[in-house]
């Protein structure tokens, strides 16, 4: 938990949630934040925590923490130019090979030792190896421009959400129910493990255990930032669900009366992994904040309750509907591959919203993130201490 020195002044944490291609939205928000900074090199987030695709963005920021605005610009350029084949095999040979392997090994039961997955994500590893300079993390920590950066992955054997973090030596590891913090020097395999969506991308071996997407069973997504010393957090979500109880903002979807497609079911399963835990944790923090304010001033040490300021920026539009408009951008082999489960239909666009790494979709999410952050410009300036 935060040490005495860290709690003496505000320490801002940035939490980037998972969500595959939906994480393009985060880049737009970060671009708007970069424009607010009077010093282009200043890193406003001493603690950066990411999960899944959010882990990729988090480490990208941390690698360039000595030059924050430049780091955001590089991230934006990469996301704006994305094509699906940079993330996973989308050609006929790659799709058919992976599909036949999946059916042969995991449906028909023939022996094999290849990790279970519907798609081959080897291109992602090649992209990250080209784009990221992990030595920048140590340099930023050494110059005290970064306190810590962390990514979370899920251990398939241990059943634990493991947060791998790199930061100052004063940060102690932690052990809670099914979640642990492990100090390490972050490497490529930590990112690939955190971004390995179950069944869709293959699990990744880190040390002696195979890991998958960190959003699985991550009961407290905000907790790692607090363990790393943050006492206020900016959460950039990817759900598109209003968090303030605005019923008018909620989208009313017509009921077709038809049974759900496989893709529709899969979309809800992905949402439950990537979104529900974060939104529940935000509600819990707000309730604890309220409880801490209700305690008497003479309560012993606040009974361990310290307020944590939380600012949330989340999509103002449903991302699955945006994905549905761009489904024709998906490479033809993948369109045919996903047509059967219903992912290319409007009802199954939830799955598509996670897998559509194409310029039209990603750029629209970036622009949406930028606009949503602009609408909260005053709140961001106050939260980051830029309104003085």
CA distance 379 to 376: 5
Q: Which residue bears the tokens 């022996």?
A: 111
pLDDT tens readout for residues 304-330: 567 888 999 999 999 988 998 998 898
In angstroms, the Cα distances linking 380 to 48, 146, 184, 364 are 17, 20, 32, 22
For the chain, helix (H) and strand (E) counts, in that order, are 16, 10
* pLDDT bracket for residue 7 (50, 70, 90): very low
Task: Give yes or no for a contact between 192 and 125, defined as CB atoms under 8 angstroms apart.
Answer: yes
- The two tokens of residue 130 are 């080209």
* pLDDT bracket for residue 216 (50, 70, 90): confident
Which residues are identified as catalytic? 52, 213
pLDDT tens readout for residues 57-104: 999 999 999 999 999 999 999 999 999 999 988 877 777 776 677 667
In percent, the amount of the chain with pLDDT more than 90 equals 53
Claim: this prediction has a pTM higher than 0.95: no
Examine the pLDDT at 376 and tell me if it is beyond 90: yes
Reported as half-sphere exposure (CB side, CA atoms, 13 A), residue 35 has a value of 11
- The two tokens of residue 98 are 């992976």
User: For residues 306 and 251, which has the higher predicted lDDT (pLDDT)?
Assistant: 306
User: For residues 337 and 303, which has the higher predicted lDDT (pLDDT)?
Assistant: 337
Query: What pLDDT does 341 receive?
Result: 62
Examine the pLDDT at 4 and tell me if it is beyond 50: no
Examine the pLDDT at 134 and tell me if it is beyond 70: yes
Q: Which of 2-16, 29-43, 193-207 has the highest mean predicted lDDT (pLDDT)?
A: 29-43
Query: What pLDDT does 255 receive?
Result: 57
In angstroms, the Cα distances linking 356 to 5, 60, 76, 79, 267 are 44, 21, 16, 12, 13
Query: What pLDDT does 177 receive?
Result: 85
Task: Kindly report the number of other CB atoms within 10 A of residue 107's CB atom.
Answer: 8
User: For residues 350 and 299, which has the higher predicted lDDT (pLDDT)?
Assistant: 350
Segment among 19-28, 171-180, 210-219, 336-345 with least mean pLDDT: 336-345
Query: What pLDDT does 332 receive?
Result: 85
Examine the pLDDT at 241 and tell me if it is beyond 60: no
- Helix ranges (H only) for 230-385 are 262-271, 277-294, 319-325, 332-339, 349-355, 359-375, 377-383
CA distance 238 to 210: 26
Residue-averaged pLDDT of the chain: 83
CA distance 283 to 212: 26
Task: Give yes or no for a contact between 370 and 26, defined as CB atoms under 8 angstroms apart.
Answer: no
* β-pair type (232-236, 12-16): parallel
* pLDDT bracket for residue 261 (50, 70, 90): low
CA distance 320 to 106: 29
pLDDT tens readout for residues 165-192: 999 999 999 999 889 999 999 999 999 9
Examine the pLDDT at 146 and tell me if it is beyond 90: yes
- Tell me the mean pLDDT in the region 152-171: 95
């Amino acid at each position: 938990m935060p040490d005495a020195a860290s709690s003496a002044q505000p320490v801002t944490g940035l939490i980037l949630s998972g969500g595959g291609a939906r994480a393009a939205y985060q880049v737009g928000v970060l671009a708007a934040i970069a424009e607010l900074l009077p010093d282009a090199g200043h890193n406003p987030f001493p603690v950066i925590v990411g999960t899944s695709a959010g882990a990729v963005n988090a480490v990208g920021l941390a690698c360039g923490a000595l030059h924050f605005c430049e780091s955001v610009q590089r991230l934006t350029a990469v996301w704006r130019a994305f094509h699906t084949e940079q993330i996973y095999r989308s050609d006929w040979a790659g799709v058919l090979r992976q599909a036949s392997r999946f059916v042969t090994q995991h449906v028909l039961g023939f022996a094999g030792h290849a990790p279970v997955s519907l798609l081959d994500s080897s291109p992602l590893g090649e992209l990250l190896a080209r784009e990221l300079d992990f030595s920048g993390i140590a340099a930023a920590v050494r110059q005290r421009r970064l306190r810590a950066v962390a990514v979370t992955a899920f251990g398939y054997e241990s059943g634990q959400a493991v947060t791998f973090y790199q930061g100052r030596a004063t940060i102690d590891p932690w052990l809670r129910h099914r979640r642990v913090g492990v100090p390490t020097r972050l490497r490529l395999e930590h990112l690939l493990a955190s971004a390995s969506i179950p069944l869709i991308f293959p699990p990744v071996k880190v040390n002696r255990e195979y890991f998958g997407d960190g959003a699985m069973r991550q009961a407290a997504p905000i907790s790692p930032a607090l363990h790393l010393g943050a006492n206020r957090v900016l959460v950039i979500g990817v759900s598109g669900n209003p968090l303030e109880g605005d019923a008018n903002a909620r989208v009313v979807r017509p009921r077709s009366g038809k049974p759900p497609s496989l893709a529709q079911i899969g979309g809800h399963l992905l949402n439950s992994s990537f979104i529900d835990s974060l939104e529940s944790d935000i509600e819990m923090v707000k309730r604890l904040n309220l409880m801490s304010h209700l305690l008497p001033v003479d309560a012993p040490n606040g009974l361990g309750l310290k307020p944590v300021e939380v600012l949330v920026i989340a999509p103002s539009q449903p991302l699955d509907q945006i994905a549905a408009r761009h489904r024709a951008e998906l490479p033809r082999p993948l369109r045919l591959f996903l047509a059967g489960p219903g992912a290319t239909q409007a009802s199954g666009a939830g799955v598509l919203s996670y897998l559509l790494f194409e310029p039209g979709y990603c750029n629209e999410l970036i622009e949406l993130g930028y606009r949503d952050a602009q609408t909260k410009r005053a709140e961001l300036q106050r939260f980051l201490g830029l309104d003085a």
